[in-house]
A and B are shown apart, each in its own frame.
Chain A
Amino acid sequence: MNSLVSARNVTKRFGELRAVDNVSFEIEKGRITGLIGPNGAGKTTLLKALLGLTDCDGDLSVMGLDPFRQRKELMQNISFIADVAVLPRWIRVAQLLDFMEAVHPRFSRGRANELLNRTSVRPSKKVRELSKGMVTQLHLSIITAIDAKLLVLDEPTLGLDILFRKDFYANLLEDYFDEERTILITTHQVEEIENLLTDVMFIDKGRLVLNAEMESLPEKYVELMTSGENAERARQLNPIFERDVFGKKVLTFEGISRDQLSGFGELRTPAIADLFVAKVKGAAA
Protein backbone atom coordinates (compact mmCIF):
# COMPACT_ATOMS: atom_id res chain seq x y z
CA MET A 1 0.00 0.00 0.00
CA ASN A 2 1.55 3.23 -1.15
CA SER A 3 -1.19 5.47 0.20
CA LEU A 4 -0.27 8.15 2.65
CA VAL A 5 -3.88 8.71 3.59
CA SER A 6 -6.47 6.00 3.35
CA ALA A 7 -10.11 6.58 4.26
CA ARG A 8 -12.76 3.90 4.02
CA ASN A 9 -16.39 4.63 4.84
CA VAL A 10 -15.45 7.48 7.12
CA THR A 11 -18.47 9.04 8.83
CA LYS A 12 -18.69 11.73 11.46
CA ARG A 13 -22.04 12.33 13.11
CA PHE A 14 -23.15 15.28 15.16
CA GLY A 15 -26.41 13.94 16.51
CA GLU A 16 -28.61 13.37 13.45
CA LEU A 17 -26.39 15.37 11.13
CA ARG A 18 -23.74 13.52 9.17
CA ALA A 19 -21.03 16.14 8.71
CA VAL A 20 -18.96 13.56 6.86
CA ASP A 21 -21.04 10.85 5.23
CA ASN A 22 -19.47 7.55 4.23
CA VAL A 23 -16.42 9.03 2.52
CA SER A 24 -13.71 6.82 0.98
CA PHE A 25 -10.54 7.95 -0.77
CA GLU A 26 -6.79 7.45 -0.95
CA ILE A 27 -4.06 10.05 -1.18
CA GLU A 28 -0.72 8.89 -2.47
CA LYS A 29 2.71 10.18 -1.61
CA GLY A 30 3.98 13.15 -3.59
CA ARG A 31 0.57 14.51 -4.59
CA ILE A 32 -0.98 17.92 -4.09
CA THR A 33 -4.67 17.42 -3.48
CA GLY A 34 -7.24 20.17 -3.36
CA LEU A 35 -10.30 19.55 -1.19
CA ILE A 36 -13.03 21.81 -2.49
CA GLY A 37 -16.43 22.39 -0.98
CA PRO A 38 -18.84 25.10 0.13
CA ASN A 39 -19.03 26.24 3.75
CA GLY A 40 -20.56 23.58 5.93
CA ALA A 41 -19.83 20.82 3.41
CA GLY A 42 -17.74 18.88 5.91
CA LYS A 43 -14.28 19.91 4.71
CA THR A 44 -13.06 21.08 8.07
CA THR A 45 -14.59 18.11 9.88
CA LEU A 46 -12.88 15.73 7.45
CA LEU A 47 -9.55 17.50 7.95
CA LYS A 48 -10.00 17.39 11.70
CA ALA A 49 -10.57 13.65 11.52
CA LEU A 50 -7.41 13.30 9.40
CA LEU A 51 -5.46 15.32 11.95
CA GLY A 52 -6.73 13.32 14.89
CA LEU A 53 -8.57 16.28 16.36
CA THR A 54 -11.88 14.51 16.30
CA ASP A 55 -13.02 10.92 16.52
CA CYS A 56 -14.94 9.34 13.61
CA ASP A 57 -16.46 6.08 12.44
CA GLY A 58 -14.99 3.99 9.64
CA ASP A 59 -11.38 3.18 8.81
CA LEU A 60 -9.04 6.11 8.63
CA SER A 61 -5.30 5.74 8.41
CA VAL A 62 -2.72 8.47 7.92
CA MET A 63 0.83 7.27 7.38
CA GLY A 64 -0.28 3.94 8.78
CA LEU A 65 -1.42 5.57 12.02
CA ASP A 66 -4.84 5.93 13.56
CA PRO A 67 -5.00 9.73 13.72
CA PHE A 68 -7.16 10.01 16.82
CA ARG A 69 -5.42 7.37 18.89
CA GLN A 70 -1.85 8.06 17.75
CA ARG A 71 -2.04 11.82 17.46
CA LYS A 72 1.36 12.55 18.97
CA GLU A 73 3.22 10.25 16.55
CA LEU A 74 1.13 11.64 13.72
CA MET A 75 1.88 15.25 14.61
CA GLN A 76 5.60 14.59 14.31
CA ASN A 77 5.13 13.97 10.60
CA ILE A 78 2.28 16.31 9.80
CA SER A 79 2.09 20.02 9.89
CA PHE A 80 -1.10 21.94 9.48
CA ILE A 81 -2.66 25.34 9.55
CA ALA A 82 -6.34 25.68 10.38
CA ASP A 83 -8.73 28.07 8.74
CA VAL A 84 -8.89 30.56 11.58
CA ALA A 85 -5.75 32.37 12.65
CA VAL A 86 -5.19 30.58 15.92
CA LEU A 87 -1.79 31.63 17.16
CA PRO A 88 -2.06 32.72 20.80
CA ARG A 89 -2.16 36.49 20.89
CA TRP A 90 0.00 36.89 23.99
CA ILE A 91 3.03 35.04 22.66
CA ARG A 92 6.16 36.68 21.28
CA VAL A 93 7.51 35.51 17.94
CA ALA A 94 10.80 34.44 19.56
CA GLN A 95 8.92 32.52 22.27
CA LEU A 96 6.89 30.74 19.65
CA LEU A 97 10.08 29.64 17.90
CA ASP A 98 11.56 28.52 21.24
CA PHE A 99 8.47 26.46 21.94
CA MET A 100 8.40 24.83 18.51
CA GLU A 101 12.08 24.01 18.74
CA ALA A 102 11.56 22.33 22.11
CA VAL A 103 8.49 20.24 21.28
CA HIS A 104 8.87 19.45 17.58
CA PRO A 105 11.70 17.13 16.56
CA ARG A 106 11.37 18.13 12.90
CA PHE A 107 11.17 21.88 13.33
CA SER A 108 14.10 23.83 11.92
CA ARG A 109 14.61 27.15 13.61
CA GLY A 110 17.14 28.23 11.00
CA ARG A 111 14.61 27.62 8.26
CA ALA A 112 11.91 29.51 10.15
CA ASN A 113 14.23 32.49 10.65
CA GLU A 114 15.14 32.42 6.98
CA LEU A 115 11.46 32.51 6.03
CA LEU A 116 10.62 35.21 8.58
CA ASN A 117 13.48 37.39 7.39
CA ARG A 118 11.65 37.76 4.12
CA THR A 119 8.71 39.29 5.99
CA SER A 120 8.41 42.26 8.30
CA VAL A 121 7.64 40.05 11.31
CA ARG A 122 10.21 40.82 14.05
CA PRO A 123 11.10 38.25 16.76
CA SER A 124 10.49 40.66 19.63
CA LYS A 125 6.88 41.36 18.60
CA LYS A 126 3.88 39.79 20.23
CA VAL A 127 1.31 38.16 17.98
CA ARG A 128 -1.32 40.70 19.07
CA GLU A 129 0.90 43.48 17.73
CA LEU A 130 1.03 41.97 14.24
CA SER A 131 -1.42 42.65 11.43
CA LYS A 132 -3.66 39.84 10.26
CA GLY A 133 -1.51 39.23 7.21
CA MET A 134 1.65 39.14 9.31
CA VAL A 135 0.13 36.59 11.69
CA THR A 136 -0.61 34.35 8.73
CA GLN A 137 2.92 34.86 7.39
CA LEU A 138 4.28 33.88 10.78
CA HIS A 139 2.07 30.82 11.00
CA LEU A 140 2.95 29.69 7.48
CA SER A 141 6.66 30.21 8.13
CA ILE A 142 6.46 28.00 11.20
CA ILE A 143 4.44 25.34 9.43
CA THR A 144 6.74 25.18 6.44
CA ALA A 145 9.83 25.08 8.68
CA ILE A 146 8.64 21.66 9.81
CA ASP A 147 10.09 18.81 7.81
CA ALA A 148 6.73 17.07 7.54
CA LYS A 149 5.65 14.31 5.21
CA LEU A 150 2.13 15.67 5.01
CA LEU A 151 1.22 19.32 5.00
CA VAL A 152 -2.44 20.17 5.55
CA LEU A 153 -3.50 23.71 4.69
CA ASP A 154 -7.04 24.73 5.57
CA GLU A 155 -7.72 28.09 3.95
CA PRO A 156 -4.07 29.07 4.37
CA THR A 157 -4.21 32.42 2.64
CA LEU A 158 -7.42 33.77 4.12
CA GLY A 159 -7.15 37.50 4.68
CA LEU A 160 -3.93 37.90 2.72
CA ASP A 161 -3.51 40.23 -0.22
CA ILE A 162 -3.06 38.82 -3.69
CA LEU A 163 0.69 39.51 -3.91
CA PHE A 164 1.38 37.52 -0.79
CA ARG A 165 -0.92 34.72 -1.88
CA LYS A 166 0.93 34.35 -5.19
CA ASP A 167 4.29 34.39 -3.40
CA PHE A 168 3.11 31.87 -0.89
CA TYR A 169 2.07 29.30 -3.45
CA ALA A 170 5.17 29.90 -5.56
CA ASN A 171 7.40 29.37 -2.52
CA LEU A 172 5.43 26.34 -1.47
CA LEU A 173 6.24 24.67 -4.77
CA GLU A 174 9.81 25.84 -5.03
CA ASP A 175 11.10 25.52 -1.50
CA TYR A 176 8.88 23.00 0.13
CA PHE A 177 7.32 20.51 -2.18
CA ASP A 178 9.16 17.47 -3.52
CA GLU A 179 8.23 13.89 -4.38
CA GLU A 180 8.63 12.85 -0.74
CA ARG A 181 6.00 15.26 0.45
CA THR A 182 2.28 15.45 0.16
CA ILE A 183 0.05 18.47 0.45
CA LEU A 184 -3.68 18.68 1.12
CA ILE A 185 -5.23 22.11 0.60
CA THR A 186 -8.67 23.56 1.04
CA THR A 187 -9.45 27.04 -0.16
CA HIS A 188 -12.24 29.19 -1.51
CA GLN A 189 -9.88 30.80 -4.00
CA VAL A 190 -9.76 27.69 -6.18
CA GLU A 191 -8.50 29.45 -9.27
CA GLU A 192 -5.27 30.36 -7.46
CA ILE A 193 -4.31 26.78 -6.73
CA GLU A 194 -5.80 25.15 -9.80
CA ASN A 195 -2.44 25.04 -11.56
CA LEU A 196 -0.51 23.46 -8.77
CA LEU A 197 -2.93 20.67 -7.90
CA THR A 198 -2.32 17.11 -9.05
CA ASP A 199 -5.62 15.83 -7.67
CA VAL A 200 -8.93 17.30 -6.74
CA MET A 201 -11.74 16.20 -4.46
CA PHE A 202 -15.16 17.85 -4.22
CA ILE A 203 -17.18 17.48 -1.06
CA ASP A 204 -20.78 18.55 -0.63
CA LYS A 205 -23.17 17.85 2.24
CA GLY A 206 -20.64 15.48 3.74
CA ARG A 207 -20.34 13.37 0.58
CA LEU A 208 -17.49 13.10 -1.85
CA VAL A 209 -18.93 14.11 -5.24
CA LEU A 210 -15.70 14.01 -7.21
CA ASN A 211 -12.27 12.50 -6.66
CA ALA A 212 -10.03 12.69 -9.71
CA GLU A 213 -6.56 13.38 -10.99
CA MET A 214 -6.30 16.80 -12.59
CA GLU A 215 -4.87 15.19 -15.73
CA SER A 216 -7.97 13.08 -16.17
CA LEU A 217 -10.39 16.02 -16.09
CA PRO A 218 -10.12 17.02 -19.79
CA GLU A 219 -11.07 13.48 -20.80
CA LYS A 220 -14.04 13.23 -18.50
CA TYR A 221 -15.44 16.72 -18.54
CA VAL A 222 -16.06 19.15 -21.31
CA GLU A 223 -17.81 22.47 -21.51
CA LEU A 224 -19.70 23.52 -24.58
CA MET A 225 -20.48 27.15 -25.32
CA THR A 226 -23.28 27.45 -27.78
CA SER A 227 -26.72 28.94 -28.45
CA GLY A 228 -30.05 28.40 -30.19
CA GLU A 229 -30.69 25.16 -31.99
CA ASN A 230 -27.27 23.69 -31.26
CA ALA A 231 -27.97 24.11 -27.58
CA GLU A 232 -31.27 22.32 -27.99
CA ARG A 233 -29.58 19.36 -29.75
CA ALA A 234 -26.71 19.25 -27.25
CA ARG A 235 -29.22 18.99 -24.43
CA GLN A 236 -30.21 15.57 -25.78
CA LEU A 237 -26.78 14.35 -24.61
CA ASN A 238 -27.71 14.99 -20.97
CA PRO A 239 -25.41 17.76 -19.76
CA ILE A 240 -24.91 17.68 -16.02
CA PHE A 241 -25.33 21.45 -15.77
CA GLU A 242 -26.26 24.46 -17.82
CA ARG A 243 -25.62 28.14 -17.30
CA ASP A 244 -25.90 31.43 -19.17
CA VAL A 245 -22.86 33.48 -20.08
CA PHE A 246 -23.34 36.71 -22.04
CA GLY A 247 -26.49 35.46 -23.68
CA LYS A 248 -24.93 32.17 -24.63
CA LYS A 249 -25.51 28.77 -23.08
CA VAL A 250 -22.68 26.91 -21.40
CA LEU A 251 -23.37 23.20 -20.99
CA THR A 252 -21.16 20.92 -18.92
CA PHE A 253 -20.90 17.26 -19.92
CA GLU A 254 -19.55 14.30 -18.08
CA GLY A 255 -18.32 11.22 -19.95
CA ILE A 256 -19.21 12.59 -23.38
CA SER A 257 -16.34 12.59 -25.89
CA ARG A 258 -15.32 15.82 -27.59
CA ASP A 259 -15.98 14.23 -30.98
CA GLN A 260 -19.66 13.87 -30.18
CA LEU A 261 -19.90 17.56 -29.38
CA SER A 262 -17.53 18.93 -31.99
CA GLY A 263 -20.18 20.37 -34.32
CA PHE A 264 -22.20 22.14 -31.63
CA GLY A 265 -19.95 25.04 -30.70
CA GLU A 266 -16.86 26.03 -28.79
CA LEU A 267 -15.38 23.30 -26.53
CA ARG A 268 -13.08 23.64 -23.56
CA THR A 269 -12.14 21.97 -20.29
CA PRO A 270 -14.12 23.48 -17.43
CA ALA A 271 -12.26 25.42 -14.76
CA ILE A 272 -12.32 23.78 -11.33
CA ALA A 273 -14.67 26.38 -9.92
CA ASP A 274 -17.15 25.91 -12.80
CA LEU A 275 -16.87 22.17 -12.63
CA PHE A 276 -17.56 22.35 -8.92
CA VAL A 277 -20.71 24.38 -9.46
CA ALA A 278 -21.80 21.98 -12.20
CA LYS A 279 -21.27 18.91 -10.03
CA VAL A 280 -22.94 20.32 -6.94
CA LYS A 281 -25.81 22.25 -8.51
CA GLY A 282 -26.28 19.67 -11.24
CA ALA A 283 -26.70 16.94 -8.69
CA ALA A 284 -29.20 19.04 -6.76
CA ALA A 285 -31.33 19.79 -9.86
Chain B
Amino acid sequence: MMRTQFALIQREFWEHRSIYVTPIVIGLVISLMSITGQVSISASEHVDTAILGMSNVSEEARATTVSVMMLVVFILFALAAAVLTIFYSLDSLYAERKDKSILFWRSVPVTDFETVLSKLLVALIVIPLVTFGAVMVTHLLVGVIMSIWLAIRGGDAWHLIWEAAPLAGNWTAMLAMLLGSALWLSPFVGWFLLVSGYSKRSPILLAFLPIIVLPLLERSFLGTQLLGNAIFVRSAQNPIFKDADTLSYMFKDDDLHSLAESGISLVSILDIGRFLGSPGLWLGLIVCGLFTTAAIYVRRYRDES
Protein backbone atom coordinates (compact mmCIF):
# COMPACT_ATOMS: atom_id res chain seq x y z
CA MET B 1 0.00 0.00 0.00
CA MET B 2 2.72 2.47 1.03
CA ARG B 3 4.93 1.46 -1.86
CA THR B 4 2.06 1.80 -4.33
CA GLN B 5 1.13 5.21 -2.92
CA PHE B 6 4.74 6.35 -3.15
CA ALA B 7 4.93 5.20 -6.78
CA LEU B 8 1.65 6.96 -7.58
CA ILE B 9 2.87 10.23 -6.08
CA GLN B 10 6.13 9.87 -7.98
CA ARG B 11 4.04 9.45 -11.12
CA GLU B 12 2.40 12.83 -10.39
CA PHE B 13 5.83 14.45 -10.26
CA TRP B 14 6.71 12.95 -13.64
CA GLU B 15 3.42 13.89 -15.23
CA HIS B 16 2.92 17.33 -13.69
CA ARG B 17 6.41 18.74 -13.66
CA SER B 18 5.02 22.18 -12.77
CA ILE B 19 4.70 20.91 -9.16
CA TYR B 20 8.44 21.43 -8.71
CA VAL B 21 9.38 23.53 -11.74
CA THR B 22 7.13 26.43 -10.66
CA PRO B 23 8.70 26.87 -7.18
CA ILE B 24 12.21 26.43 -8.59
CA VAL B 25 11.62 29.14 -11.19
CA ILE B 26 10.10 31.51 -8.62
CA GLY B 27 13.01 30.88 -6.24
CA LEU B 28 15.54 31.61 -8.98
CA VAL B 29 13.74 34.77 -10.07
CA ILE B 30 13.58 36.07 -6.49
CA SER B 31 17.27 35.29 -5.94
CA LEU B 32 18.22 37.05 -9.16
CA MET B 33 16.06 40.02 -8.24
CA SER B 34 17.75 40.25 -4.86
CA ILE B 35 21.10 40.51 -6.66
CA THR B 36 19.93 43.19 -9.08
CA GLY B 37 18.09 44.94 -6.26
CA GLN B 38 21.23 45.20 -4.20
CA VAL B 39 23.24 46.39 -7.15
CA SER B 40 20.74 49.21 -7.75
CA ILE B 41 20.55 50.12 -4.04
CA SER B 42 24.32 50.41 -4.09
CA ALA B 43 23.96 53.39 -6.40
CA SER B 44 22.38 55.37 -3.57
CA GLU B 45 24.83 57.53 -1.65
CA HIS B 46 23.07 56.93 1.65
CA VAL B 47 23.41 53.19 1.56
CA ASP B 48 26.42 52.97 3.85
CA THR B 49 24.77 55.24 6.38
CA ALA B 50 21.72 53.03 6.28
CA ILE B 51 23.76 49.93 6.99
CA LEU B 52 25.41 51.72 9.89
CA GLY B 53 21.99 52.79 11.14
CA MET B 54 20.67 49.24 10.98
CA SER B 55 23.48 48.08 13.20
CA ASN B 56 22.24 50.36 15.93
CA VAL B 57 18.55 49.49 16.03
CA SER B 58 17.27 46.99 18.56
CA GLU B 59 17.44 43.27 17.91
CA GLU B 60 13.64 43.09 17.82
CA ALA B 61 13.56 45.70 15.08
CA ARG B 62 16.09 43.79 13.04
CA ALA B 63 14.20 40.54 13.60
CA THR B 64 10.98 42.17 12.43
CA THR B 65 12.65 43.57 9.31
CA VAL B 66 14.03 40.18 8.39
CA SER B 67 10.65 38.55 9.13
CA VAL B 68 8.83 40.99 6.87
CA MET B 69 11.27 40.25 4.05
CA MET B 70 10.80 36.53 4.61
CA LEU B 71 7.04 37.02 4.56
CA VAL B 72 7.11 38.89 1.25
CA VAL B 73 9.04 36.03 -0.35
CA PHE B 74 6.67 33.55 1.22
CA ILE B 75 3.53 35.30 -0.05
CA LEU B 76 4.80 35.12 -3.64
CA PHE B 77 5.31 31.37 -3.27
CA ALA B 78 1.98 30.86 -1.51
CA LEU B 79 0.05 32.65 -4.28
CA ALA B 80 1.84 30.58 -6.91
CA ALA B 81 1.07 27.40 -4.96
CA ALA B 82 -2.62 28.33 -4.86
CA VAL B 83 -2.74 28.80 -8.64
CA LEU B 84 -0.70 25.63 -9.14
CA THR B 85 -3.05 23.61 -6.93
CA ILE B 86 -6.10 24.77 -8.89
CA PHE B 87 -4.58 23.84 -12.24
CA TYR B 88 -3.09 20.61 -10.93
CA SER B 89 -6.29 19.31 -9.39
CA LEU B 90 -8.34 20.28 -12.44
CA ASP B 91 -5.90 18.46 -14.73
CA SER B 92 -5.09 15.45 -12.57
CA LEU B 93 -7.97 13.18 -13.60
CA TYR B 94 -8.60 14.88 -16.95
CA ALA B 95 -5.18 14.47 -18.59
CA GLU B 96 -5.14 10.68 -18.31
CA ARG B 97 -8.52 10.52 -20.01
CA LYS B 98 -7.56 12.99 -22.70
CA ASP B 99 -4.42 11.07 -23.71
CA LYS B 100 -6.26 7.76 -23.17
CA SER B 101 -3.52 6.46 -20.89
CA ILE B 102 -6.22 5.74 -18.30
CA LEU B 103 -6.58 2.28 -19.86
CA PHE B 104 -2.95 1.61 -19.10
CA TRP B 105 -3.16 3.00 -15.55
CA ARG B 106 -6.15 0.81 -14.90
CA SER B 107 -4.37 -2.29 -16.22
CA VAL B 108 -2.10 -2.42 -13.18
CA PRO B 109 -3.16 -3.68 -9.76
CA VAL B 110 -4.01 -0.27 -8.32
CA THR B 111 -7.51 0.64 -7.22
CA ASP B 112 -9.28 3.82 -8.30
CA PHE B 113 -9.31 4.77 -4.63
CA GLU B 114 -5.52 4.59 -4.41
CA THR B 115 -5.08 6.60 -7.61
CA VAL B 116 -7.49 9.39 -6.67
CA LEU B 117 -6.07 9.44 -3.13
CA SER B 118 -2.57 10.05 -4.52
CA LYS B 119 -3.87 13.07 -6.39
CA LEU B 120 -5.63 14.43 -3.32
CA LEU B 121 -2.46 13.96 -1.25
CA VAL B 122 -0.42 15.80 -3.87
CA ALA B 123 -2.82 18.75 -3.82
CA LEU B 124 -3.22 18.96 -0.04
CA ILE B 125 0.17 17.83 1.30
CA VAL B 126 2.83 17.45 -1.39
CA ILE B 127 2.44 20.83 -3.11
CA PRO B 128 2.55 22.68 0.27
CA LEU B 129 5.64 20.68 1.31
CA VAL B 130 7.46 21.26 -2.00
CA THR B 131 6.53 24.95 -1.82
CA PHE B 132 7.80 25.09 1.75
CA GLY B 133 11.12 23.52 0.73
CA ALA B 134 11.50 26.09 -2.04
CA VAL B 135 10.64 28.92 0.37
CA MET B 136 13.36 27.80 2.80
CA VAL B 137 16.00 27.44 0.08
CA THR B 138 15.07 30.85 -1.35
CA HIS B 139 15.27 32.49 2.10
CA LEU B 140 18.72 31.01 2.58
CA LEU B 141 19.84 32.02 -0.93
CA VAL B 142 18.60 35.58 -0.53
CA GLY B 143 20.19 35.71 2.95
CA VAL B 144 23.53 34.58 1.56
CA ILE B 145 23.31 37.07 -1.31
CA MET B 146 22.55 39.88 1.13
CA SER B 147 25.35 38.74 3.42
CA ILE B 148 27.86 38.85 0.59
CA TRP B 149 26.66 42.32 -0.37
CA LEU B 150 26.85 43.52 3.25
CA ALA B 151 30.31 42.00 3.63
CA ILE B 152 31.52 43.84 0.52
CA ARG B 153 30.12 47.03 2.01
CA GLY B 154 31.88 46.37 5.28
CA GLY B 155 28.70 45.51 7.22
CA ASP B 156 28.42 42.68 9.72
CA ALA B 157 26.04 40.26 8.03
CA TRP B 158 26.01 37.83 10.93
CA HIS B 159 24.89 40.51 13.30
CA LEU B 160 22.45 42.19 10.93
CA ILE B 161 20.71 39.18 9.41
CA TRP B 162 21.49 35.76 10.77
CA GLU B 163 21.69 36.48 14.45
CA ALA B 164 18.47 38.43 14.33
CA ALA B 165 16.45 36.24 11.99
CA PRO B 166 13.94 34.05 13.83
CA LEU B 167 14.32 31.40 11.13
CA ALA B 168 12.93 28.39 12.97
CA GLY B 169 9.86 30.23 14.24
CA ASN B 170 9.10 31.87 10.92
CA TRP B 171 9.52 28.66 8.98
CA THR B 172 7.29 26.74 11.37
CA ALA B 173 4.64 29.43 10.94
CA MET B 174 4.97 29.31 7.14
CA LEU B 175 4.66 25.54 7.03
CA ALA B 176 1.56 25.82 9.21
CA MET B 177 0.12 28.50 6.93
CA LEU B 178 0.72 26.44 3.78
CA LEU B 179 -0.73 23.22 5.16
CA GLY B 180 -3.47 25.08 7.04
CA SER B 181 -4.60 26.92 3.92
CA ALA B 182 -4.59 23.73 1.87
CA LEU B 183 -6.71 21.90 4.44
CA TRP B 184 -9.03 24.87 4.91
CA LEU B 185 -9.59 25.13 1.17
CA SER B 186 -9.80 21.33 0.69
CA PRO B 187 -13.51 21.39 -0.33
CA PHE B 188 -12.45 23.30 -3.44
CA VAL B 189 -9.72 20.74 -4.16
CA GLY B 190 -12.27 17.92 -3.81
CA TRP B 191 -14.65 19.74 -6.15
CA PHE B 192 -11.87 20.28 -8.70
CA LEU B 193 -10.93 16.59 -8.58
CA LEU B 194 -14.54 15.62 -9.23
CA VAL B 195 -14.83 18.03 -12.16
CA SER B 196 -11.49 16.82 -13.47
CA GLY B 197 -12.71 13.23 -13.44
CA TYR B 198 -16.12 14.05 -14.88
CA SER B 199 -15.63 16.81 -17.43
CA LYS B 200 -15.57 15.89 -21.11
CA ARG B 201 -13.81 19.11 -22.05
CA SER B 202 -12.61 22.30 -20.39
CA PRO B 203 -12.70 21.36 -16.69
CA ILE B 204 -11.86 24.98 -15.79
CA LEU B 205 -15.13 26.27 -17.15
CA LEU B 206 -17.16 23.51 -15.53
CA ALA B 207 -15.37 24.04 -12.22
CA PHE B 208 -15.82 27.79 -11.94
CA LEU B 209 -19.19 28.30 -13.58
CA PRO B 210 -21.22 26.77 -10.71
CA ILE B 211 -19.06 28.54 -8.13
CA ILE B 212 -20.08 31.85 -9.67
CA VAL B 213 -23.54 31.12 -11.04
CA LEU B 214 -25.11 29.09 -8.20
CA PRO B 215 -24.67 31.75 -5.49
CA LEU B 216 -26.15 34.31 -7.90
CA LEU B 217 -29.14 32.08 -8.58
CA GLU B 218 -29.59 31.44 -4.87
CA ARG B 219 -29.59 35.14 -4.21
CA SER B 220 -32.05 36.09 -6.91
CA PHE B 221 -34.52 33.22 -6.43
CA LEU B 222 -34.31 32.37 -2.74
CA GLY B 223 -33.03 35.67 -1.46
CA THR B 224 -30.49 33.87 0.71
CA GLN B 225 -26.72 33.88 0.54
CA LEU B 226 -25.81 30.60 2.21
CA LEU B 227 -23.87 29.21 -0.72
CA GLY B 228 -22.23 32.51 -1.51
CA ASN B 229 -21.07 32.83 2.08
CA ALA B 230 -19.87 29.25 2.16
CA ILE B 231 -17.79 29.82 -0.94
CA PHE B 232 -16.51 33.37 -0.70
CA VAL B 233 -16.24 33.90 3.03
CA ARG B 234 -14.43 30.60 3.28
CA SER B 235 -11.90 31.66 0.66
CA ALA B 236 -11.21 34.88 2.53
CA GLN B 237 -11.23 33.86 6.19
CA ASN B 238 -9.10 31.10 7.57
CA PRO B 239 -9.36 30.59 11.37
CA ILE B 240 -5.65 29.74 11.46
CA PHE B 241 -5.00 33.50 11.41
CA LYS B 242 -5.81 35.55 14.47
CA ASP B 243 -8.56 38.12 14.10
CA ALA B 244 -8.07 40.95 11.70
CA ASP B 245 -7.95 43.33 14.70
CA THR B 246 -4.97 41.52 16.11
CA LEU B 247 -3.26 41.56 12.77
CA SER B 248 -3.92 45.16 11.90
CA TYR B 249 -1.73 46.61 14.60
CA MET B 250 1.24 44.83 13.15
CA PHE B 251 0.90 47.02 10.11
CA LYS B 252 -0.87 50.10 11.53
CA ASP B 253 2.30 52.12 11.54
CA ASP B 254 5.05 51.82 9.04
CA ASP B 255 7.50 53.08 11.57
CA LEU B 256 9.83 50.16 12.18
CA HIS B 257 10.18 50.96 15.87
CA SER B 258 6.53 50.65 16.80
CA LEU B 259 6.31 47.46 14.72
CA ALA B 260 9.26 46.01 16.55
CA GLU B 261 8.08 47.01 19.96
CA SER B 262 4.77 45.30 19.47
CA GLY B 263 6.90 42.14 19.52
CA ILE B 264 5.07 40.44 16.67
CA SER B 265 6.60 37.34 15.12
CA LEU B 266 5.00 35.25 12.42
CA VAL B 267 4.15 32.51 14.91
CA SER B 268 2.20 35.00 16.99
CA ILE B 269 -0.25 35.80 14.19
CA LEU B 270 -1.36 32.15 14.09
CA ASP B 271 -3.83 30.37 16.29
CA ILE B 272 -3.38 26.66 15.59
CA GLY B 273 -5.66 25.64 18.45
CA ARG B 274 -8.57 27.65 17.12
CA PHE B 275 -7.88 26.31 13.62
CA LEU B 276 -7.96 22.66 14.73
CA GLY B 277 -11.00 23.29 16.90
CA SER B 278 -12.93 25.04 14.18
CA PRO B 279 -16.02 23.15 12.98
CA GLY B 280 -15.52 24.83 9.60
CA LEU B 281 -12.26 22.93 9.11
CA TRP B 282 -13.78 19.53 9.81
CA LEU B 283 -16.94 20.27 7.89
CA GLY B 284 -14.76 21.31 4.97
CA LEU B 285 -12.74 18.11 5.16
CA ILE B 286 -15.97 16.10 5.11
CA VAL B 287 -17.16 17.99 2.02
CA CYS B 288 -13.76 17.36 0.44
CA GLY B 289 -14.11 13.67 1.28
CA LEU B 290 -17.56 13.50 -0.34
CA PHE B 291 -16.38 15.16 -3.54
CA THR B 292 -13.32 12.89 -3.63
CA THR B 293 -15.48 9.79 -3.13
CA ALA B 294 -17.63 10.95 -6.03
CA ALA B 295 -14.47 11.39 -8.13
CA ILE B 296 -13.41 7.81 -7.30
CA TYR B 297 -16.82 6.49 -8.38
CA VAL B 298 -16.76 8.47 -11.60
CA ARG B 299 -13.34 7.04 -12.49
CA ARG B 300 -14.53 3.55 -11.64
CA TYR B 301 -17.87 3.55 -13.42
CA ARG B 302 -17.18 5.74 -16.38
CA ASP B 303 -16.64 3.80 -19.57
CA GLU B 304 -13.97 5.45 -21.66
CA SER B 305 -14.59 3.82 -25.00
Contact = CB atoms under 8 A, between A and B. Distances in A.
B100 A98 contact: no
B201 interface: no
B237 interface: no
Q: How large is the interface on B (under 10, 10 to 19, 20 to 34, 35 or more residues)?
A: 20 to 34
Given A99-B7, A99-B10, A99-B11, A53 B109 contact: no
B288 to A, nearest CB: 24
Interface in B77-110: 96, 99-110
A86 B7 contact: no
Given A48-B305, A95-B14, A72 B104 contact: no
Central interface residue in B3, B8, B104, by most chain A CB within 10 Å:
B104
Nearest to A78: B107
B119 to A, nearest CB: 15
A278 to B, nearest CB: 29
Contact of B99 (A81, A88, A102, A139): A88
A60 interface: no
Interface string B1-28: 0011011101100110000000000000
B104 A103 contact: no
Q: Classify the secondary structure of B's interface with A.
A: helix
Contacts of A72: 109-111
Given A98-B7, A103-B4, A75 B107 contact: yes
Nearest to B111: A72
A18 interface: no
B6 to A, nearest CB: 7
9 A-B pairs closest in CB distance: A102-B7, A75-B109, A88-B101, A86-B103, A76-B109, A86-B104, A82-B103, A72-B111, A86-B100
Interface of B: 3-4, 6-8, 10-11, 14-15, 96, 99-111, 301, 303, 305
17 contacts: A44-B305, A45-B305, A54-B303, A71-B111, A73-B109, A82-B104, A89-B101, A90-B14, A99-B7, A99-B10, A102-B4, A102-B6, A103-B7, A103-B110, A104-B108, A105-B109, A139-B104
